[in-house]
A and B are shown apart, each in its own frame.
Chain A
Amino acid sequence: MKEEFIQRYSRQLILPGFGTEAQKKLSASSVLVIGAGGLGVPVIQYLTAAGVGRLVVADDDVVELHNLQRQVLYGRDDIGSNKVELAARRLQAINPHVRVEAWPERITSQNALSLLKDFDLVMDCTDNLVSRYLINDACFLNDVPMVYGSLFQYEGQLSVFHLPLPDGSRSPNYRDLFPLPPPPGQMTDCSEGGVLGTLPGIIGTLMASEAVKILARIGEQMHSRLFLFDALRFKSRALRFAPHPKNPLRGNPPPLRQLIDYEAFCGISESFVPAEEEMEARELRDRMQSGSKITLLDVREPGEYELTSIGGINIPASQLKEKLSLLKGQEALILICRSGIRSARLLPDLKVHFPGREIYHLRGGLLAWKAEVDPGFPMY
């Protein structure tokens, strides 16, 4: 055995239950990591350091300033550069014995089945539901186990899906937990809800830990259980879950036997607010400039409102029910949030509460305001 091999991996080679056999399995393994963002960064660093054989990182994003709060592999000079190409160079510097490949592309229904084959393990480090259902189904159809992680605000989740079990079956998967996506308008990601910067490090490192155990075939894997971690309260829980009868990947034959249009499945492409209840950013500007009587209701959290606003009353969505009396009046009410998701979600309830009143939400939120009205408007 070469001296560098022994030196490099000595701290895990001497672990009880690990040894050279586990290291050889790890070094012969191939892993596809989808997403080189918050979760992906710790995952790829630790898997490279641990010495997997082949590591492919897929992501079509470039580094942006708001990534640097949590994606600690990148720096200010990297802004605008492709994440996976940067990552591949830095990973190669950590461990040149790992075959690192950068795939600067997005996983889609068209390419997923061919991209995912020939891997021993897939790491889902994405940040949206469309990708999660797609990766889950593609891994199921390709018989590839996967490690799943997700983050929201102060909470993280982790599980292992499609793992071969001793009885010949495969462990439950994402659709056993969540057979259906939430309704359009109720999906909130980190760009809308925020995320604690250290949380991707915690969950991503746990994901890498599960990956090492699966590839080296040691220990007990986190399959058939969903790990939940609340960083704000420093509490963790593990949910043991069973196959769900409504999982369309189950049955003989299963109802779902090929990849589908996941954007349509998650309702991303459908508008859940009638067009006549939406107001474009330019129209709002015109109404503000004309002096017509309107009330702007900004439903973001106070911390967001403090960062940047176009004025109006700030009542966060969570407090709206208790503060409806503040909105009495006849003038048109225009709901505003960052991207138009939260405001659209609140619109139907306000319509019921104030029948007959002109109520709109700002389509695309303040992001649209910046894009269409005021390019200098500071946004986050």
Chain B
Amino acid sequence: MEISISYEAQKMLARKMLDRHPGSCCGFIFGKDGLPRLITRIVEAENLQSGEEITPAGIVNANRYAEDEDIAFLGTFHAVNGHCAVPSTQHLLKALPGHSILLVSFRKGKITDIRSWRLQSGGSCSEEKIVVQDALDRIFKRT
């Protein structure tokens, strides 16, 4: 399994991370579901309280957004300060089968790790190879 992030989506993600820095942020990823899966759009979750909450209502809205925009709802992203890029049970419990969970770990203004995971039916989850990430690394770099 592979997932690719378009240059535009990388810029969107980097911008959201910069806006929230040094806090964390999360939201939804959209694009084309194929081989590889391609992320073309990043939308931050609304009404964030803690800055890292994906709510059921948010997922319903993201589904609607995907239908309205005629785009595939691919999953969620979480950009987390200091944490590892491995999903917690909380990330997994909130994800839907087939969804990707894109995790960006950063520390002291630099990305330290970026990994993507896909939840399968039955509760298992596999790591997806990320094909492109150079632009994100380049844009989100604050020292």
Where the two chains meet, the residues of A that have a C-beta atom closer than 8 Å to any C-beta of B are 155, 177-180, 182-183, 186, 225-226, 228-230, 233, 235-242, 246, 321-322
Q: Which of A155, A180, A240, A246 contacts B89 (CB 8 A)?
A: A155
- State the CA gap A241–B85 with chains docked (Å): 11
- State the CA gap A322–B113 with chains docked (Å): 30
Distance of A24 from chain B, by nearest CB (Å)? 34
Known A183-B82, A240-B127; 5 more pairs at CB < 8 Å: A180-B113, A183-B107, A228-B92, A233-B93, A321-B50
Given contacts A183-B107, A246-B113, A322-B49, contact A235 B89 (CB under 8 A): yes
Distance of B128 from chain A, by nearest CB (Å)? 9
B56 located at the interface, meaning its Cβ lies under 8 Å from any Cβ of chain A in the complex: no
B42-67 contact mask (Cβ, 8 Å, vs A): 1 or 0: 00000001100000000000000000
A237 touches B89 (CB 8 A): yes
A177 touches B49 (CB 8 A): no
B15-32 contact mask (Cβ, 8 Å, vs A): 1 or 0: 000000000000000000
Which residues in B have their C-beta under 8 angstroms from that of A155? 88-89
Given contacts A228-B92, A233-B93, A242-B127, contact A177 B86 (CB under 8 A): yes
Which residues in B have their C-beta under 8 angstroms from that of A233? 89, 93
B82 touches A240 (CB 8 A): no
Distance of B42 from chain A, by nearest CB (Å)? 23
B124 touches A237 (CB 8 A): yes
Total A-B pairs, Cβ < 8 A: 60
Name the CB-closest residue of A to B107: A183
B123 located at the interface, meaning its Cβ lies under 8 Å from any Cβ of chain A in the complex: yes
Give residues of chain B (84-143) contacting chain A, Cβ–Cβ below 8 Å: 84, 86-89, 92-93, 107, 112-113, 117, 123-127, 129
Q: Which of B49, B50, B93, B127 contacts A241 (CB 8 A)?
A: B127
Given contacts A237-B123, A239-B126, contact A230 B93 (CB under 8 A): yes
B92 touches A177 (CB 8 A): no
Distance of B82 from chain A, by nearest CB (Å)? 5
A241 touches B124 (CB 8 A): no
Given contacts A180-B113, A228-B92, A246-B113, contact A240 B86 (CB under 8 A): no
A239 touches B93 (CB 8 A): no
Name the CB-closest residue of B to A182: B82
Given contacts A180-B113, A230-B93, A246-B113, contact A238 B86 (CB under 8 A): no
Q: Which of B82, B113, B129 contacts A179 (CB 8 A)?
A: B113
Name the CB-closest residue of A to B49: A322
Q: Which of B86, B88, B107, B129 contacts A178 (CB 8 A)?
A: B86
A182 touches B83 (CB 8 A): yes
Distance of B46 from chain A, by nearest CB (Å)? 17
Distance of A171 from chain B, by nearest CB (Å)? 14
Which residues in A have their C-beta under 8 angstroms from that of B127? 239-242
Which residues in B have their C-beta under 8 angstroms from that of A242? 127, 129
Q: Which of A186, A230, A237 contacts B125 (CB 8 A)?
A: A237
A236 touches B123 (CB 8 A): yes
User: Which 3 A/B pairs are nearest by Cβ-Cβ distance?
Assistant: A240-B126, A230-B89, A237-B92
- State the CA gap A230–B90 with chains docked (Å): 9
- State the CA gap A170–B116 with chains docked (Å): 23
Distance of B56 from chain A, by nearest CB (Å)? 15
Name the CB-closest residue of B to A318: B50
- State the CA gap A177–B50 with chains docked (Å): 26
A239 touches B84 (CB 8 A): no
Which residues in B have their C-beta under 8 angstroms from that of A177? 84, 86
- Residue of A182, A226, A240 with highest tally of chain B CB at under 10 A: A240
- State the CA gap A225–B120 with chains docked (Å): 14
Q: Which of B84, B112, B123, B129 contacts A238 (CB 8 A)?
A: B123
Which residues in A have their C-beta under 8 angstroms from that of B92? 228, 237, 239
Name the CB-closest residue of B to A246: B113
A239 touches B86 (CB 8 A): yes
Which residues in B have their C-beta under 8 angstroms from that of A183? 82, 107
Which residues in B have their C-beta under 8 angstroms from that of A321? 50
Distance of A353 from chain B, by nearest CB (Å)? 13
- State the CA gap A239–B88 with chains docked (Å): 10
- State the CA gap A230–B89 with chains docked (Å): 7
Which residues in B have their C-beta under 8 angstroms from that of A236? 123
Which residues in A have their C-beta under 8 angstroms from that of B87? 239
